[in-house]
């Protein structure tokens, strides 16, 4: 049906590529591009050992360089660009897609390299440009953001007249055996969890200190876990796209060992994004830390346990109060056996493939820039069950204080 150009060949990219190849009726061709061509070629070799009919090619590209990206898109002629590299590169890739009139999809909002900001306004500014060009941009088609937005649209469509309260809970109950490692890009992960928290309530943002608000929750097949309120980008779009919403919060679980190591690293300045002079050159401490920590793509073989990620909704249906929960449980080892990656990469990569398939099939194809909750959730929800992320409904969920 169509050709995808995937930019990024890390842990998430590996999942996206495997899933595109499983869905070879939609993805007839796939080009894998990254700064490191050898990584793309290694992934291609893995994929060619499967039974896929997808035609696979590889290219090298610097995704910071819009001219290089334009040349690559013109050479490979994809129907859609799937961006699973770094969020710093969102705008350079969107600019290349505009120039070449090519559809675009990513899994995380743009972040300036020198400021830990998690906001959509930079990408929302492209709405009119994409609309005039007649091309589609899908923002945040991972799990959170991504599936959590689709869950919200599905809940509103099928179970509520109005959603008043939404809590998004992200639990990773996996154990990789290292004293300290991050399950996705260390630089992005640490920037996210060391930033101030915030939540949306009664039409305004309430800001909190990092890790200031702590709750406990019992997650099915994982157990009771401590979780902490963070700012997360989907809060921003959901606050706009859920009419009548009064409060949205996002919680993520962390273990004591992770938090203690993070505290020490902060205290010695290793999480700073401010450049420092070292041996006659400028280095960013957090980027150096990323270089010495285990690569998240290497964690698959040694990670055991499960993730449990989902949404708790409270609102009104036919004038009556209603609560409802949608969630997914994902097993790290099962993910590794299937695609060679752990569940954190899997839960991001599968929705990225599904979102791209929605555009290629025409289900989500319309000019403009969209967050996933603005689009029809039903075919996406069906595809989650088909491609490895089955969802569970709970009509009397435990609520968060």
Q: Which long-range contacts (CB under 8 A, 24 or more apart) does 240-246 make?
A: 241/149, 241/152, 241/371, 241/373, 241/374, 242/152, 242/156, 242/163, 242/166, 242/373, 243/162, 244/162, 244/163, 244/164, 244/315, 245/163, 245/164, 245/165, 245/166, 245/200, 246/164, 246/165, 246/201, 246/202
Report the pLDDT value the prediction gives residue 181, as an integer from 0 to 100.
81
How large is the average pLDDT for residues 120-142? 97
> Could you write out the DSSP letters of every residue in 161-218?
SEEEEEEEEEEE--B-S-SS--SS-HHHHHHHHHSPEEEEETTEEEEE-TT--EEEEE
Report the pLDDT value the prediction gives residue 32, as an integer from 0 to 100.
98
pLDDT, tens digit, for every residue of 211-270? 999 999 999 999 999 999 999 999 999 999 999 999 999 999 988 888 888 888 888 998
Instruction: Find the helix or strand (DSSP H, E) in which 105 lies.
Output: strand 103-106
Q: Rounded CA gap, 296 and 109, in Å?
A: 20
How large is the average pLDDT for residues 372-398? 98
* Res 335 pLDDT > 80: yes
Q: Which of 129, 153, 106, 123 is nearest to 352 (CA)?
A: 106
Strand partners, 228: 214, 252
Report the pLDDT value the prediction gives residue 116, as an integer from 0 to 100.
63
Report the pLDDT value the prediction gives residue 377, as an integer from 0 to 100.
98
> Could you write out the DSSP letters of every residue in 14-25?
HHHHHHHHHTTT
Q: Which of 91, 185, 149, 168 is nearest to 355 (CA)?
A: 149
Report the pLDDT value the prediction gives residue 259, as an integer from 0 to 100.
83
Task: Please report, rounded to a whole number, the percentage of residues in the chain having pLDDT higher than 90.
Answer: 81
- The residue to which tokens 């992934």 are assigned: 43
Model confidence at 334, pLDDT cuts 50, 70, 90, reads: very high
Q: Rounded CA gap, 193 and 119, in Å?
A: 15
* Res 293 pLDDT > 80: yes
How large is the average pLDDT for residues 58-85? 98
| More confident site: 130 or 292 | 130
Report the pLDDT value the prediction gives residue 354, as an integer from 0 to 100.
98
| Structural contact between residues 286 and 269, judged by C-beta atoms closer than 8 angstroms | no
Strand blocks (E) in 230-380: 247-253, 276-278, 281-283, 306-317, 320-331, 368-371
| More confident site: 302 or 71 | 71
Average pLDDT, rounded, for the chain: 94
| Structural contact between residues 372 and 356, judged by C-beta atoms closer than 8 angstroms | no
How large is the average pLDDT for residues 147-155? 98
* Res 350 pLDDT > 70: yes
| Structural contact between residues 336 and 62, judged by C-beta atoms closer than 8 angstroms | no
- Which residues contact residue 190 at a Cβ distance below 8 angstroms, ignoring those fewer than 6 apart? 182, 262, 265, 271, 286, 289
Report the pLDDT value the prediction gives residue 331, as an integer from 0 to 100.
97
pLDDT, tens digit, for every residue of 159-207? 999 999 999 999 999 888 888 888 767 777 787 788 899 999 999 999 9
Report the pLDDT value the prediction gives residue 117, as an integer from 0 to 100.
67
| Structural contact between residues 390 and 383, judged by C-beta atoms closer than 8 angstroms | no
Report the pLDDT value the prediction gives residue 177, as an integer from 0 to 100.
83
Task: Please report, rounded to a whole number, the percentage of residues in the chain having pLDDT higher than 70.
Answer: 99
How large is the average pLDDT for residues 351-368? 98
How large is the average pLDDT for residues 38-48? 97
Q: Which of 234, 187, 193 is nearest to 88 (CA)?
A: 187
């Amino acid at each position: 049906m169509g050709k995808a150009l995937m930019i990024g060949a890390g842990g998430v990219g590996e999942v996206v590529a495997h899933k595109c190849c499983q869905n070879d009726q939609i993805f007839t061709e796939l080009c894998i591009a990254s700064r490191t061509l050898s990584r793309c070629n290694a992934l291609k070799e893995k994929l060619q050992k499967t039974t896929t009919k997808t035609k696979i090619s590889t290219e090298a590209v610097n995704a910071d360089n819009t001219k290089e990206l334009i040349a690559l898109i013109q050479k490979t002629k994809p129907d859609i660009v799937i961006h699973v590299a770094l969020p710093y590169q969102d705008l350079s890739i969107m600019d290349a897609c505009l120039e070449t009139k090519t559809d675009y999809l990513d899994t995380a909002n743009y972040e300036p390299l020198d400021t830990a900001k998690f906001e959509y306004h930079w990408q929302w500014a492209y709405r009119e440009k994409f609309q005039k060009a007649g091309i589609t941009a899908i923002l945040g088609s991972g799990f959170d953001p991504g599936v959590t937005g689709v869950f919200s649209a599905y809940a509103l469509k099928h179970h509520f007249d109005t959603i008043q309260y939404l809590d998004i809970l992200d639990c990773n109950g996996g154990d990789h055996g290292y004293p300290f490692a991050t399950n996705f890009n260390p630089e992005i992960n640490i920037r996210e969890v060391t930033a101030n928290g915030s939540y949306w309530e009664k039409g305004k943002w309430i800001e909190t200190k990092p890790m200031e608000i702590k709750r406990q929750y019992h997650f099915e097949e994982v157990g009771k876990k401590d979780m902490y309120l963070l700012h997360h980008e989907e809060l921003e779009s959901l606050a706009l796209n859920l009419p009548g919403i009064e409060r949205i919060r996002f919680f993520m679980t962390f273990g004591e060992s992770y938090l203690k190591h993070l505290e020490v690293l902060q205290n010695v300045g290793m999480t700073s994004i401010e450049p420092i002079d070292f041996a006659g050159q400028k280095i960013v401490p957090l980027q150096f830390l990323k270089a010495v920590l285990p690569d998240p793509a290497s964690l698959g073989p040694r990670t055991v346990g499960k993730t449990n990620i989902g949404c708790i909704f409270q609102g009104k249906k036919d004038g009556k109060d209603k609560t409802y929960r949608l969630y997914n449980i994902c097993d790290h080892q099962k993910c590794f056996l299937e695609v060679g990656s752990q569940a954190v990469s899997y839960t991001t990569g599968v929705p990225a493939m599904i979102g791209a398939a929605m555009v290629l099939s025409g289900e989500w194809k319309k000019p403009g820039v969209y967050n996933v909750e603005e689009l029809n959730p039903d075919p996406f929800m069906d595809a989650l069950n088909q491609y490895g992320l089955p969802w569970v409904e709970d009509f009397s969920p435990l609520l968060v204080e």
